[in-house]
Amino acid sequence: MPDAAPSPAPKRKPWIPLLVLVSFVAPIVIAYWFAILHPEAVPRKLVNRGTLLEPPVALLQGPARADFEAMARQPDEWSLLYFTAGPCDARCAAQLDLAGTIRALIGAQGKRVQLLALLDQAPAAAPPLVKVLDQPAARAALAAELGRRLGAPPMAGYVFLDARHLAMMFFPSDAPPGDIKEDLKRLLRASSVR
């Protein structure tokens, strides 16, 4: 039987190593371009539903400083503070009850949330978990600072306070309760001390 002619060696394709190199390097170059050179090219969408206050509003500088300093707080505790102008009427009482419901719906992490009310006039009866601060000057100062940042001073609303009593986020009083709950849950998760 005659010997079969040896088959020719396969031709090397010089562009394959180049293609492999480009497929690994190109994503790094593109990421560098977007992250370092042109970060404004990527729209940033915040996941929070409330209005983030940057920089936070310091309530310890206001008229209710002594009341806030008297509240002992742990670093991972937050406050849900409701404020409103005028007397605490039926709508105000309903908002305070809503704050208690939001805290209860959070579950076990809700124990790290203190409920506060900053009012011009204390209600006849407040829900049991709500600490009422009868401080019209402090309420007016908070509303004025929020108005400076938001364009118009709100008559009522909610703010999240961290352990240092800095207002970090604002919600108008007619905000969907689910939005308040979701943002508060996210803050509690992110600030959990382990």
pLDDT tens digits, one per residue of 111-126: 999 999 999 888 888 7
**Are 23 and 60 found together in one domain?**
no
Q: Is 86 left (phi over 0), alpha (psi -120 to 50) or beta?
A: left
Are the CB atoms for 82 and 95 separated by under 8 Å?
A: yes
Q: Is pLDDT above 60 for 17?
A: yes
Q: How many domains are there within the chain?
A: 2
More reliable by pLDDT, 12 or 104: 104
- Quote the domain boundaries for residue 120: 51-190
d(CA 173, CA 176): 9
Helix axes 177-190, 90-106, angle to 10 degrees: 40
Residues 6+ apart with CB under 8 A from 182: 49
Confidence tier at 3 by pLDDT (50, 70, 90): low
Q: What is the pLDDT of residues 59-110, one digit of tens each?
A: 777 666 777 777 777 888 899 999 999 888 889 999 999 999 999 999 898 8
**Are 156 and 64 found together in one domain?**
yes
